[in-house]
Structure formats: structure tokens, C-alpha cells
């Protein structure tokens, strides 16, 4: 009989066997197999896997609770740089006990004062060149254990004896570099050997000195690339050796001349790689490293899975009419290529990447704004050394489907080139399938846009500005939480958000904010004006709530509480003290005016179909859409009151509840015209917001739903929502009794619609509904996940599987049978385990099959009416019931 583990998927801070943990009070989580849930659990931590008596350093004792997560280490302070083991056992509701799980490891990271290393840089510090640093190290014996702790100002790779320990990760990830930089921990045991060793670090621009944002402004955090590394080595005879970066290291020139995340790589393969060559003194451009002048940035441990290779894509190769070699990977994505290059020494190869082609079939290098193809950024240039080489860029990442290759002397075959998809190594948690392949393609497009933008930090697009726009992640966060295990990834984003929030509570519209305070120039100053925008800054409240709702993460509510309060308090103050232009011109609403938010910059609904960008920007500045802004203020205040409640802050909870009520009432007084039941500017999104944020009194909801439907019908079944409300449109319709209209919008095949994008060949979600102008020329980004938030509706309403309590402790299964579908299915890995909902309709009737994770309860809304409540396990229904 095979032995099946009863407790699986052990994680520490949601990571599998993390190395170099910065949090010394980590959280443990696991999954219980079978259908019977947990009623209590015990976690044990010790320095060895045996847990022999006396060696255990902590036990939680038997902790009563049904959640297989959220149990935190509370023993004696953990030492830094210490490998620990832990295991868990669970008591189930049926009185059985699982016994101890197999032990698993975690290791703490560096203590702040323990770095025996200094930040070092090269002699010509500000030159736009890659920095190669190296040292030689002689080891008198066999290495039994080695750890390397490293980071850089710029993206770096740690290379020991020619073995690259970092690739393909792009680290350190982007943080507010003026304050802190993440470091990585590596197991370097296998890379080191007795005798001579070469330890090297190569540093490129990265997000530290690379070109950032829409304006591609370089050096926003500093102009000196630098690195730091500390190695702890233990030899077989027990000897401990520590080395660190210092002025004994040397620098040299290397083949990567310059490499920018966005603008590509310049490589001269004729220059030998100094990290692979033995004698340092013979290296071209060799010099002594310099210690960086003192600075105040802290080193913190990384907390998130690194960027890695998640897939490889085959290519087709052709020649364009202009004679250019064109490679098509058949899928828009984020990453690099691996390509076989052949030619004479000194030959120059140029690789240009784009998401789209011109109407004439050439690579389009102007569609993202710049009319001058010479200024195209996604480009790698390689000078060959004479021998055939497989080239793959190291320190750049492109958003593309097509690659143009120039300068090859021979032919390129499809087998010579591959697309390498790079994304954060997140665990996929949500799968959707249904009878309509176009909707499956839509779901896949959303997944591709998420993969493409969940690299360094969640970005709007992987091409143009690649910025961490708050509004984009605000609308997409719940979709992301359904599709993948994004809890650490979004927690990290929120940590950066709080760190960069302005003293008055405003939130920069991009996080990280793309500039150190001492490097803020006029463009950054102008950009900062945007920090008051509702719908964007509300990420500070909506994201923590989303993580709580989908993962049961109470800790994040506590951690972000001050930040969330600062945002709401800022808007409340602004409403009370500043009167916007619009209000001065219109008739007021008396004493309630103090709750109307109509000053400051607000993007508003943003990018409604058919609205010109210039007009939207003008409105955002001069007519800041108080109906939208005040609705967000009411919504965030309401969420904040719930957050306060969860945190046990009773006084705050009451205060914010009262405030939310007042803002809601003022919003009703100012923007709802009772006669005719018109709201705001009478756009579709006005009704969606009103209903989704529950701003209307119950007796006005039906009229709002009716008007929303009327507007959609007047638009011949098309959506008219923009950036903010599209995600809420279909759930609002289906949860208010109009799933017929929701399906009509979903199945719509002419623009604006998701299916129109697919019919035009979209393999990702586009920034605009049309994607191309009438002449067929591409417009704006073709890889923006924001409008892809519709995938949440596929899971939560079409298949009908959604949380009814934080972390899916209670699940609501409420399928929406309809549309053109004959079956649909969502399979989710929730914090409690696998949940699924599958319905199928045919001549014999309707089937519903659900899977409920152990320890949870599902309330099932039966498609024929009525409710059933079921516990863990598989359940099925058939209508008409079989006798
Ligand atoms: C664009 C970005 C982003 C959006 C802002 C307002 O520049 O692409 O998606 O949040 O505008």
C-alpha cells in the first residue's frame, strides 16, 4: 500500500523552502488532504530534521483553529543565517490525527549588522558601461556548505567559477532604491571547489540606473552602479571562511558593453568574459574596485519568488517585403530570445522586438508614440567574435511577439531561435474552461497579460513605460488572486506603496515612484500632481482588502492600516477644505458639500471607448469628475471601516462607518437625479459604480439597473465603460438579475469588446478596445492586463465560484447558466485546498459538480432555485432529478 502524505504543500511566508528569510516571525501554511477539515494543528521548529528530544526550539502547542495558514513562529528569537526545519500535524474534525508531516526547511537571512562586505564600484563610475567585478579565492579543502548573500545598484548576476547563480532572475527587483535594496541568498556549495576559485559579479543598469517610465529618464536613483556580496564558506575540516566585496576586488571590461531593461543590450563578443578568465591582471581595462561613498540605503531580504523562465515558444521565420528576416513567436509575451548567430568577427547583428507589424507587414517600431523608428527602444546589438554563438540577452526584457533580425550573413532557420518567456515564478491557482474556445482564448489572453506584467513589479505594460501603475493593479488584483498565488507579490507592492506615500497621504500613481527625492526634476514634479487621483490611489485600501478577502491575510490589514487611513484622511480633508472649479460653477448641496470630492487631479473613468485621450486629460485636469471621485471616496471609506473592524479598532470602525454613510448620502444628493433616475453624467460606468459600491438606497437600485441595461442596449449591446468600471460591469449585471445582458456584452463580437480583440488576432489584452486605427496601424500598448479583469467574472459568475468569507473559509457557488455556453468550469487552489465548480447542460438536463476543500462550507445556489449547504468533498446534482 502506498503511503500518501496527509499534510502537504508546506510553505513559510507562502514560499517553498525559502532561503534567506528576512522575516524572523514567519507564517506557516500547509494543505490537509482528503475531505475532512482541520480543527487544530501543531507546528514544531528545530535546527535538525530529526526533532530529537531537546533539539526542538519551539512548538506552537495544539492550536485550535480550522485555518491551514496564519500560524506564526512565536518562539525564542531565531538566529540570523540559520537553517531550520519545521513540521506540522493536524487534528481533523472526525477525531483523526494526521501524524507529523515530512519536515521541510527554511533559512533565515542576514542580520543587518552582519555584512562583512562593502558596496564596491568601478573606477569610471558614471560611464554608461556594464560593471564587471571579480576576486580570486583559494580554498584549502572541500566545501561542505556555502552561502552567498548579494545585491547591487543595478541588475546583477553572481558568477562563481563560470557558473551563473542568478540567471535568469532580474534582481534586485525595483524598490525605492534611495531607502532600501533587496538582497538574494544563494546556495553556493556546488559552485566552489578546493584550490583556485573566481568569484564575480556583473552589474548592468537595471531599474536603478536604467531608463524609466514613459519618458525613459535614466539614473533616477543614482549614477554609480555598485555591488555587494558576502560569502560564508564551511570546509569539510570545519574551517569557516568569510569573504566580502571590498577594495581588493578588481574590475575589467567585459562583453556586455551596456544593457538597459527597456532599451536592450549592446554586446561585443570579441571581448572575453572576465568572470570566466583566470588571471585578473591580464584582463582588458582591468583596475581596482573602489568602495562606494557612504549612503543610507538598507539591505532587506527579498520576499518574492524570482523572475524565471516559465515557458519556451517555437518560432516561424519569414522574410518581409523589405527583405528583413522576421521571426513570429505566435504569442505576445515578455521575455527574451535564444538565437543562434553565425558570422564573421566584427559583424554587427541587430535584433528589434515589437508586439505588432505595420499594415505592410514590417516590424512596427513607431506605434507606441515616437514617430522616429531610430528611437525604438527594444533592441539588442551584438558584435560577433567569429565563432557561431547562441545568444540570449542577460539584463534586458522585451514585450513582443515579433523579432526582426538584421546583419546575418546566412539564413536563419526556425530551429535556431526560441522565445524565452520570463515571469515571476508564481504558482498557478485558477483554471477556467468552457464549451466556447473563444472564451478560453480570452482567459488565456488575460493569463498572458498577467505573466507579461508580473515580472519585476506589477506593471501596466511590458513595453512603453513599464511602470507600476496603481490604478491598473487596483482593478486587476482580485483577478490576479484567482489566477495565481500572488499574496507575497502584492504584499511587496504594498510595502513599496506605503514607503513612498507622500507625507500628506497622497499616493504616487506609479509604485515605485521612479525617482529618488533628491533627483526629482520638472517632469517628476509635474507627474507628482497626479498623486491625488481616485481610482489609482485607492489601491492603498482596495489591495489590502483584496488580499484579506482572497487569502484570509489579516496581517496585511494591520501592516497597511496607517497607509490606507492616510489616503482616506487626505481625500476627506481635501473634500472638506477645497472647493473645485466644478462646484463653484454648479449649484451646491448645502452642508453636504464638505463630503464632495471635486478638487485635485483625477483620471476619472479613463479610456471609455471612443473618448479621445486629449479630451480625457483635459477633463482630468479641469473637470475632475466629482461623481467618480466621491464614489471612490465613499467606497474606500467603507472598506476602511471594515478593515478597522477586523483589526478590532472599534472607535475607528465606527468613525469611518459614519463618514462613509455621510459621503454616500452627499453623493446621492449631488449626483443622483431622482426624476428619471439619472446618475452623474449618465454613462454606463455611473450606474456600475453606484451599484457595485452599494451607494444607492435599496429602492433605487432597480431603476439604476434598468438604466444601465437601457444604455447598453442603446449602444447595441456594447460596453461603454473605461479603465475603472469594466471589471465591475459584468458582475454588476449578473448579480442584479441581468446575466442575459452580461452574456450579451461578453459575446459581443464587434468593438468595443473582448471578442473583437480576439478576432483581430489578440493573444494578450490590449490597452484600448480597438488596438489599431482605421488604417490598420497599431495604437497604444497591446499588453495591458487592466481590461482583462473580466476573467474574474468567468470564474466567479460564469462557473460561479467565489469566496463568501475571507480566504474561502466559506464559498459561494452560484453558476450563471446561459449565454452561448453548454458547460463551464473553474478549478481553484484556495488556501484550504482545491475547489471547483462545473456545470453542463444537454438534452438530459443540467449537471452541477462541485469540489469543496476540507474545512470549508459551500453555499450552493442551485440553478433551478433553492440553496444547498455542503462541506468538504465532491458533490453533484442533476436536474431533473433522476428518480
Ligand atoms: C497610461 C498607463 C496606465 C494607466 C494610466 C492612467 O499611461 O498605461 O495603464 O493607469 O495611463
Residue of 368, 449, 460 to mutate, ligand 1, most atoms within 8 A of C-beta: 460
- How many A from CA of 512 to the centre of ligand 1? 15
Nearest CA owner, ligand 1 atom 1: 460
Ligand 1 atom closest to 781 (CA): 8
Nearest CA owner, ligand 1 atom 8: 460
Ligand 1 atom closest to 784 (CA): 9
pLDDT in the model for residue 11:
98
Q: Give CA 453 to chain center in angstroms.
A: 7
- The residue-averaged pLDDT of 403-416 equals 95
- How many A from CA of 853 to the centre of ligand 1? 38
Number of continuous H segments (helices) and E segments (strands) in the chain? 17, 43
Whether the pLDDT of residue 845 is over 60: the answer is yes
Domains of the chain: 7-108 (2.60.40.10), 120-304 (2.60.120.260), 308-424 (2.60.120.260), 430-798 (1.50.10.10), 810-879 (2.60.420.10)
Which of helix, strand or coil describes residue 449?
helix
Three-state SS sequence of 337-400: EEEEECCCCCCEEEEEEECCECCCCCECCCCCCCCCHHHCCCEEEEECCCCCEEECCCCCCEEE
Whether the pLDDT of residue 1 is over 50: the answer is no
pLDDT per residue as tens digits for the range 141-170: 999 999 999 999 999 999 999 999 999 999
pLDDT in the model for residue 652:
98
Beta strands in 33-114 (DSSP E): 38-46, 58-59, 63-64, 71-72, 83-92, 104-108
Ligand 1 atom closest to 606 (CA): 6
- How many A from CA of 438 to the centre of ligand 1? 27
pLDDT per residue as tens digits for the range 97-108: 999 999 999 999
> What is the CA angle 426-432-436, rounded to 5?
145
Cell numbers at residue 484, please? 495565481
Nearest CA owner, ligand 1 atom 5: 469
Q: Give CA 548 to chain center in angstroms.
A: 16
Which of helix, strand or coil describes residue 644?
helix
- How many A from CA of 509 to the centre of ligand 1? 9
Average pLDDT score over the chain: 95
- How many A from CA of 462 to the centre of ligand 1? 12
pLDDT in the model for residue 881:
73
- How many A from CA of 510 to the centre of ligand 1? 9
Confidence of residue 580 (pLDDT cuts 50, 70, 90): confident
> What is the CA angle 779-781-786, rounded to 5?
125
Ligand 1 atom closest to 472 (CA): 10
Q: Per residue in 220-230, is it b (16+ CB within 10 Å) or e — as a string?
A: bbbebbbbbbb
- Total length of the chain: 883
- How many A from CA of 602 to the centre of ligand 1? 12
**Residues pairing with 313 in the sheet:** 419
DSSP code per residue over 826-855: EEEEETTEEEEEEEEEETTEEEEEEEE-TT
Residue of 723, 726, 764 to mutate, ligand 1, most atoms within 8 A of C-beta: 723
Q: Are strands 379-383 and 143-153 parallel, antiparallel or unpaired?
A: unpaired
Nearest CA owner, ligand 1 atom 2: 460
Do the Cβ atoms of 183 and 190 come closer than 8 Å?
A: no
- The residue-averaged pLDDT of 303-324 equals 97
- The residue-averaged pLDDT of 340-352 equals 97
Ligand 1 atom closest to 780 (CA): 8
- The residue-averaged pLDDT of 620-632 equals 87
Three-state SS sequence of 713-726: HHCCCCCCCCCCCH
Q: Give CA 192 to chain center in angstroms.
A: 35
Tally of CA atoms within 13 A in the half-sphere of 75 that contains its CB = 18
- How many A from CA of 711 to the centre of ligand 1? 26
DSSP type of residue 790: H
Q: What are phi and psi of 208, to 5 degrees?
A: -70, -50
Which of helix, strand or coil describes residue 252?
strand
Ligand 1 atom closest to 509 (CA): 10
Whether the pLDDT of residue 585 is over 70: the answer is no
pLDDT in the model for residue 2:
47
Q: Per residue in 718-751, is it b (16+ CB within 10 Å) or e — as a string?
A: bbbbbbbbbbbbbbbbbbbebbebbbbbbbbeeb
Q: Are strands 290-291 and 120-121 parallel, antiparallel or unpaired?
A: antiparallel
Q: CA 79 → CA 60, 76, 267, 692, distances in Å?
A: 18, 9, 43, 48
pLDDT in the model for residue 400:
98
Do the Cβ atoms of 397 and 418 come closer than 8 Å?
A: no
Nearest CA owner, ligand 1 atom 3: 460
DSSP type of residue 263: T
- How many A from CA of 606 to the centre of ligand 1? 9
Ligand 1 atom closest to 464 (CA): 8
Nearest CA owner, ligand 1 atom 9: 460
Ligand 1 atom closest to 214 (CA): 7
Using a 6 Å CB cutoff, which residues line ligand 1?
460-461, 469, 471-472, 603, 606, 767, 784, 786
The larger pLDDT score, comparing residue 125 to residue 473, is at: 473
Nearest CA owner, ligand 1 atom 6: 603
CA distance 109 to 606: 43
Ligand 1 atom closest to 603 (CA): 6
- How many A from CA of 461 to the centre of ligand 1? 9
Whether the pLDDT of residue 122 is over 60: the answer is yes
Percent of the chain whose predicted confidence (pLDDT) is above 70: 97
Neighbours of 682 (CB within 10 A): 13
Which of helix, strand or coil describes residue 313?
strand
- How many A from CA of 306 to the centre of ligand 1? 25
126-135, 170-179, 461-470, 783-792: which has the minimum mean pLDDT?
126-135
Residue of 469, 474, 780 to mutate, ligand 1, most atoms within 8 A of C-beta: 469
pLDDT in the model for residue 751:
95
CA distance 419 to 336: 6
Ligand 1 atom closest to 786 (CA): 9
pLDDT in the model for residue 586:
59
Residue of 453, 471, 530, 534 to mutate, ligand 1, most atoms within 8 A of C-beta: 471
* pTM for this entry: 0.97
pLDDT per residue as tens digits for the range 4-61: 779 999 999 999 999 999 999 999 999 999 999 999 999 999 999 988 777 889 999 9
Whether the pLDDT of residue 276 is over 90: the answer is no
Ligand 1 atom closest to 469 (CA): 10
Ligand 1 atom closest to 536 (CA): 10
Q: Give CA 881 to chain center in angstroms.
A: 44
- How many A from CA of 724 to the centre of ligand 1? 11
- The residue-averaged pLDDT of 374-396 equals 96
Whether the pLDDT of residue 179 is over 80: the answer is yes
- The residue-averaged pLDDT of 633-646 equals 98
Neighbours of 593 (CB within 10 A): 16
- How many A from CA of 460 to the centre of ligand 1? 7
Of the candidates 294, 754, 297, 199, the one whose C-alpha atom is nearest the C-alpha of residue 516 is: 297
Percent of the chain whose predicted confidence (pLDDT) is above 90: 89
pLDDT in the model for residue 882:
67
pLDDT per residue as tens digits for the range 706-723: 999 999 999 999 999 999
Ligand 1 atom closest to 533 (CA): 6
Could you tell me the end-to-end alpha-carbon distance of the chain, in angstroms, rounded to an integer?
38
- How many A from CA of 466 to the centre of ligand 1? 10
Q: CA 350 → CA 160, 353, 385, 390, 408, distances in Å?
A: 30, 10, 15, 14, 9
pLDDT per residue as tens digits for the range 202-252: 999 999 999 999 999 999 999 999 999 999 999 999 999 999 999 999 998
- How many A from CA of 784 to the centre of ligand 1? 9
Do the Cβ atoms of 570 and 590 come closer than 8 Å?
A: no
Ligand 1 atom closest to 460 (CA): 9
**Residues pairing with 382 in the sheet:** 267, 349
DSSP type of residue 174: P
- How many A from CA of 230 to the centre of ligand 1? 40
- How many A from CA of 519 to the centre of ligand 1? 23
Do the Cβ atoms of 386 and 344 come closer than 8 Å?
A: yes
- The residue-averaged pLDDT of 573-598 equals 80
CA distance 424 to 295: 30
Residue of 472, 474, 530, 536 to mutate, ligand 1, most atoms within 8 A of C-beta: 472
- How many A from CA of 782 to the centre of ligand 1? 13
- How many A from CA of 637 to the centre of ligand 1? 24
pLDDT in the model for residue 618:
78
Q: What are phi and psi of 437, to 5 degrees?
A: -60, -25
CA distance 146 to 141: 13
**Residues pairing with 454 in the sheet:** 458
109-118, 613-622, 820-829: which has the minimum mean pLDDT?
613-622
DSSP type of residue 745: H
Amino acid at each position: 500500500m502506498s503511503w500518501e502524505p496527509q499534510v502537504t504543500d508546506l510553505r513559510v511566508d507562502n514560499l517553498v523552502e525559502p532561503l534567506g528569510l528576512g522575516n524572523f516571525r514567519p507564517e506557516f501554511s500547509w494543505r490537509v488532504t482528503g475531505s475532512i477539515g482541520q480543527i487544530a494543528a501543531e507546528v514544531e521548529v528545530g535546527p535538525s530534521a530529526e526533532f530529537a528530544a531537546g533539539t526542538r526550539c519551539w512548538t506552537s502547542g495544539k492550536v485550535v483553529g480550522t485555518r491551514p495558514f496564519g500560524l506564526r513562529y512565536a518562539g525564542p528569537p531565531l538566529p540570523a543565517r540559520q537553517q531550520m526545519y519545521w513540521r506540522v500535524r493536524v487534528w481533523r474534525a472526525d477525531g483523526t490525527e494526521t501524524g507529523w508531516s515530512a519536515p521541510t526547511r527554511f533559512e533565515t537571512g542576514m542580520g543587518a549588522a552582519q555584512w562583512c562586505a562593502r558596496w564596491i564600484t568601478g573606477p569610471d563610475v558614471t560611464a554608461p558601461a556594464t560593471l564587471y567585478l571579480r576576486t580570486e579565492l583559494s580554498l584549502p579543502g572541500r566545501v561542505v556548505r556555502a552561502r552567498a548573500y548579494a545585491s547591487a545598484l543595478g541588475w546583477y548576476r553572481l558568477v562563481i567559477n563560470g557558473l551563473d547563480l542568478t540567471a535568469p532572475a532580474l534582481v534586485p527587483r525595483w524598490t525605492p532604491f534611495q531607502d532600501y535594496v533587496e538582497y538574494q541568498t544563494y546556495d553556493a556549495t556546488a559552485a566552489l571547489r578546493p584550490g583556485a576559485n573566481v568569484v564575480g559579479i556583473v552589474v548592468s543598469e537595471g531599474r536603478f540606473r536604467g531608463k524609466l517610465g514613459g519618458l525613459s529618464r535614466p539614473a533616477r536613483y543614482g549614477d554609480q552602479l555598485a555591488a555587494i556580496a558576502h560569502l560564508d564558506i564551511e570546509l569539510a575540516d570545519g574551517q569557516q571562511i568569510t569573504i566580502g566585496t571590498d577594495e581588493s576586488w578588481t574590475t575589467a571590461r567585459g562583453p556586455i558593453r551596456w544593457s538597459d531593461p527597456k532599451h536592450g543590450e549592446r554586446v561585443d563578443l570579441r571581448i572575453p568574459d572576465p568572470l570566466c578568465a583566470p588571471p585578473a591582471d591580464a584582463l582588458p581595462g582591468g583596475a581596482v574596485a573602489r568602495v562606494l561613498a557612504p549612503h543610507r540605503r538598507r539591505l532587506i531580504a527579498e520576499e518574492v519568488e524570482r523572475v524565471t523562465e516559465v515557458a519556451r515558444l517555437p518560432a516561424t521565420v519569414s522574410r518581409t517585403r523589405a527583405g528583413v528576416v522576421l521571426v513570429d513567436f505566435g504569442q505576445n509575451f515578455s521575455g527574451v530570445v535564444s538565437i543562434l548567430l553565425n558570422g564573421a568577427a566584427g559583424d554587427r547583428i541587430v535584433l528589434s522586438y515589437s508586439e505588432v507589424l505595420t499594415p505592410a507587414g514590417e516590424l512596427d517600431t513607431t506605434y507606441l508614440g515616437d514617430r522616429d523608428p531610430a528611437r525604438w527602444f527594444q533592441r539588442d546589438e551584438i558584435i560577433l567574435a567569429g565563432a557561431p554563438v547562441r545568444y540570449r540577452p542577460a539584463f534586458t526584457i522585451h514585450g513582443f511577439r515579433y523579432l526582426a533580425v538584421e546583419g546575418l550573413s546566412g539564413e536563419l532557420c526556425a530551429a535556431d531561435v526560441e522565445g524565452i518567456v520570463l515571469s515571476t515564478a508564481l504558482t498557478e491557482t485558477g483554471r477556467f474552461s468552457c464549451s466556447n474556445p473563444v472564451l478560453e482564448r480570452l482567459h488565456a489572453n488575460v493569463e498572458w497579460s498577467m505573466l507579461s506584467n508580473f515580472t519585476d513589479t506589477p506593471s501596466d505594460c511590458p513595453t512603453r513605460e513599464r511602470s507600476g501603475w496603481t490604478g491598473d493593479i487596483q482593478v486587476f488584483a482580485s483577478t490576479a488572486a484567482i489566477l495565481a498565488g500572488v499574496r507575497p507579490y502584492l504584499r511587496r507592492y504594498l510595502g513599496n506603496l506605503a514607503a513612498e506615500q507622500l507625507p500628506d497621504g497622497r499616493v504616487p500613481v506609479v509604485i515605485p515612484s521612479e525617482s529618488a527625492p533628491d533627483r526629482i526634476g520638472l517632469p517628476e514634479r509635474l507627474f507628482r500632481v497626479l498623486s491625488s487621483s481616485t481610482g489609482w490611489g485607492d489601491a492603498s485600501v482596495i489591495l489590502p482588502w483584496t488580499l484579506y478577502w482572497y487569502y484570509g491575510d489579516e496581517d496585511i490589514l494591520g501592516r497597511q492600516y496607517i497607509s490606507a487611513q492616510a489616503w482616506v484622511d487626505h481625500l476627506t480633508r481635501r473634500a472638506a477644505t477645497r472647493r473645485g472649479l466644478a462646484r463653484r460653477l454648479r449649484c451646491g448641496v448645502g452642508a453636504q458639500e464638505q463630503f464632495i470630492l471635486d478638487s485635485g487631479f483625477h483620471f476619472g473613468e479613463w479610456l471609455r471607448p471612443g473618448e479621445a485621450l486629449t479630451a480625457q486629460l483635459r477633463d482630468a485636469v479641469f473637470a475632475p469628475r466629482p461623481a467618480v471621485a466621491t464614489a471612490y471616496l465613499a467606497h474606500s471609506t467603507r472598506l476602511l471601516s471594515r478593515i478597522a473592524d477586523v483589526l478590532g479598532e472599534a472607535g475607528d470602525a465606527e468613525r469611518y462607518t459614519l463618514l462613509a454613510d455621510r459621503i454616500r448620502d452627499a453623493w446621492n444628493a449631488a449626483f443622483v437625479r431622482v426624476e428619471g433616475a439619472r446618475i452623474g453624467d449618465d454613462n454606463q460606468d455611473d450606474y456600475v459604480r453606484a451599484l457595485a459600491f452599494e451607494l444607492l438606497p435599496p429602492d433605487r437600485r432597480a431603476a439604476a439597473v434598468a438604466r444601465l441595461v437601457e444604455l447598453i442596449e442603446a449602444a447595441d449591446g456594447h460596453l461603454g465603460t473605461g479603465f475603472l468600471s469594466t471589471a465591475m460591469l459584468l458582475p454588476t449585471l449578473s448579480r442584479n438579475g441581468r446575466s442575459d445582458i452580461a452574456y450579451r456584452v461578453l459575446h459581443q463580437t464587434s468593438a468595443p469588446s473582448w471578442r473583437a480583440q480576439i478576432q483581430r488576432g489578440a493573444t494578450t489584452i490590449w490597452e484600448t478596445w480597438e488596438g489599431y486605427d482605421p488604417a490598420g496601424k497599431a495604437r497604444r500598448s497591446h499588453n495591458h492586463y487592466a481590461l482583462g479583469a473580466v476573467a474574474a467574472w468567468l470564474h466567479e459568475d460564469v462557473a460561479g465560484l467565489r469566496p463568501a468569507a475571507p480566504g474561502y473559509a466559506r464559498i459561494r457557488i452560484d453558476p450563471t447558466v446561459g449565454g452561448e455556453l453548454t458547460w463551464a468550469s473553474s478549478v481553484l487552489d484556495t488556501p484550504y485546498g482545491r475547489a471547483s465548480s462545473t456545470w453542463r447542460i444537454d438534452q438530459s438536463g443540467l449537471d452541477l459538480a462541485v469540489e469543496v476543500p476540507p474545512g470549508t462550507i459551500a453555499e450552493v445556489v442551485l440553478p433551478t432555485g433553492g440553496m444547498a449547504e455542503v462541506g468538504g468533498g465532491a458533490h453533484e446534482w442533476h436536474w431533473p432529478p433522476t428518480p
